[in-house]
Structure 1
């Protein structure tokens, strides 16, 4: 056996240090001498993803409290026995300034934030509801807001405000989805082209302008979600007239509910969505998200609708997400009541297709072939 003398120990330690330098330190310092080839970006961990993975569909949630109070989200999670991966919340231009804490709270709960960014004063809507106006009267009040006419947005009058949000969202350093001015093909918001003095083509101009302000600010961590309402009548313009183009959109969305209908006691998921989905797929092949949906129990078939809806979703392989409207508003869309509804939802989302996780280092899927 070789004796470990002090000189021999020193030789071994010296050799180990030289090997460490050769394989770890030297390549980095050499690269830096060649002009700083090793950057902070290169040293950062590579993003995982995409989100959601191929063949999966994420489940999201929207509540009336948003990230200001997570109690409704916790109740939804308990009822669904499933943690949502996306949280949609709304902020209106008249009163909301960028607040990083709202986004971080959602992120810290393992959900991707989706901002429903609404260019209007929502307080007019709240006051109209408090006055117990009819639904038609409420729509007229909330949609007549000339200060937020689309031409003013496209003309740059809100650029300072828009830029402040772009810079704030850029500073987050993780992916955020923005659903800007949704349901533009309706008549109940001031950004709808059919009201508020808006003209044909104004919506696309406004969308592109807002998008370009974000791009100029370097806010590249935004997934842009264009979201139409399901079309109930052929008397409204084609939905394609509101589409700003694939270069300006990452996810296409659609909103639709099973509620009360005068012309049918019950409408299946396909009866609510299929016609509009087909129309959207004719002009865009972007990944699709059901950005708002819910079901009422007015004839006792809410649990049945949920079961059938989730069984139908796999027939639309391009739908990568569904966001449930967990709010008691006008009708009770929540899954927390009655227990049969919660059970139906929990069983539906237990399917392997809906087993998805999100983390801030994942890149949102923007192409179906990824």
Structure 2
């Protein structure tokens, strides 16, 4: 009996010590209350109590309770612990509330981040994509307002600069095409009625031949060669050989006009004769020397044409021992402004056509000393004058 009482005392003490177990009630085998210090026995009064867990509701207050009953070892008595249901679920509810607050905070942060992400990344990138689609249609009047992250803004700035640069390049290309056409027209400016002129000259040559005027016949033949070269409207290049043959005809005519007032020399590497070059690039340079270089010279002037090559370039030079070209005249030739005169029109025409057709694959250099000489050198990369 002492052992039973001791075990019962330990059980009651341990149950009353732990607040989470609620109030302790001791019942005998008839469910009569033996121990109820808190007066909670009315909650289970009239109920059949066995070992296990029960849920009750107090009729007076409507409060819910949970009761847990277990037998006392060595007796038929039972220890019943009664606790408010709210006390048991309080910790869970607090945890659930904290979880809800955390979830709400995470949802708020997610919404804030989503708004930031859309505003600073997605929308600006979408603007760039739409701008690219507009550019694909050929419309370059596109400007995107920079916004978003600094990297995205830099990307938008680069896009706007690219579009502006494209517009400038297209405009420059259009202007170059116009200049190219103008240069071709200037090179062929005498092409008014080519068939009529050639046929007329052929008739003059025939009449001179019948009348045995060899000088007139040769002049007519030379002029026919020059005009035939100028009237090749469907071909902008020919060989160096053809250029030199045309140049010989021109020199023949000019020597008659100027009564052999100059000497003409050629130094040509025959390996270069079959390279393709633009038409009429030597004749304007030679003509400029004949017409302008020797106006103040007392003795006979000398014009020398040279053609040679190295591993990368083809060189064509026209050199005279005339009065030379001033720095102001050279600046006028290479100026972007349209300042044409009788002196520079031919040289500028050659320079412009070379730049329009070959760009950096061509060089045009004038070396001159006033009162001494003028040497004009044209260089063309072999890849643009392939045989």
Would the TM-score normalized by the shorter structure come out above 0.5?
no
Structure (1/2) with the larger helix percentage: 2
Q: What TM bracket, shorter-length normalisation? A: under 0.3
TM-score by length of 1: 0.22
